[in-house]
Amino acid sequence: MVNFVAAEKQLVHGVMKMAGLRPKSVEIEPGTVMNFWAPSSSKRKKHEEVVKKGVVVLVHGFAADGIFTWQFQVGALTRNYDVYIPDLLFFGGSTTSTTDRSPAFQAQCLAKALQGALDIHSCVVIGFSYGGFVAFNMAHLYPSLVSSLVISGSVTAMTDSITQTIFQRLGFSSFSDLLLPSDVKGVKKLLSVGAKKNIWLPNRLYRDFLKVMFTNRKERGELLDGLVISDKDATIPNFSQTILLLWGDNDQIFDIELAKNMKEQLGDKATLQRIKKAGHLVHLERPCVYNKYLKEFLALSVQANRAK
């Protein structure tokens, strides 16, 4: 029987290839491999001969891999930028034999892949949800690599207090309960929390999504365990980058008040842009509006980076 989500992934892969992207595996160290969708070598060489383009790295959330997460952004960006879409460790075939499950380790692996095998020395990093934690860590650890940041539905650190507030508001007991559903009912609950409006789909599609997207359950559970830190250990880094917080007004997980507070903590280099009629999955619910704000920020960011 055909898995419709797997079939859609193949269709999206075809669209990515039409946009000039190709899958590429990067061995970061023995036992650690990170997969990417990246510009084909001929496409990138042509870009470098005509005009030096900005590099954009799209970092996905927890419920899907890179391509599925950013399928509505790729076409809007590849004409003007070299776009790289990683699959974080334990997503989309990326894996490691090490036991470190922290967002900082994901950030280190991503940075090493970009700077090493992919020969990237400056980029704008766009992180959604779990990918936002990785993006913040990258910006902090590799300021010369990350020129600016776009963050949607994430915070600089997932503290005990933020975690408990989310659980109380949504009625979940753990992040695994929310983000690692084991049945159709759990997938429906996850998507209902993620989107502003409930979207009816037949149970068959929820089952297909569950089979395709929620692999490596043990390791992903460990990633969630490695995400939360105590309040006393949480600090706000002094980021050198300009930061755009691009937020769904009705985000039920990281609500708009949390985004406002984070903007104040980050200071003058951060800007908060709210998108109405959208929840946590703002880039999927309102892709045209999301892409508009994204392209405006990228144009200014890449121009400023070239002037340095």
Domain ranges of the chain: 4-15+23-307
Supply the pLDDT for residue 49. 43
Q: What was the pLDDT predicted at 163?
A: 93
pLDDT averaged over every residue in the chain: 90
Using one digit for the tens of pLDDT, what is the confidence trace for 273-297?
A: 999 999 999 999 999 999 999 999 9
> Mean of the pLDDT values across residues 197-213?
84
Query: Position of tokens 């997932």?
Result: 158
Q: 181 near 190, Cβ under 8 Å? A: yes
Beta bridge partners of 27: 33
Q: What is the pLDDT of residue 50?
A: 37
Give yes or no for a contact between 1 and 210, defined as CB atoms under 8 angstroms apart: no
277: alpha, beta or left? (left if phi > 0; alpha if psi -120 to 50): left
pLDDT score, position 51:
42
Under 8 Å between Cβ of 233 and 104 = no
* Domain at 4-15+23-307, CATH class: alpha beta
* C-alpha distances out from residue 247 to 41, 166, 237, 305, Å: 34, 17, 21, 24
Describe the chain by its helix, strand, coil percentages, rounded to 5.
45, 20, 35
pLDDT band at 11 (very low <50, low <70, confident <90, very high): confident
Whether residue 264 is predicted with pLDDT greater than 90 in this model: the reply is yes
List, in order, residues 6 or more apart from 252 with CB less than 8 Å away: 169, 170, 193, 194, 279, 280
CA nearest to 191, candidates 76, 92, 130, 279? 279
List, in sequence order, every residue forming a beta bridge with 159; answer none if it has no partner: 229
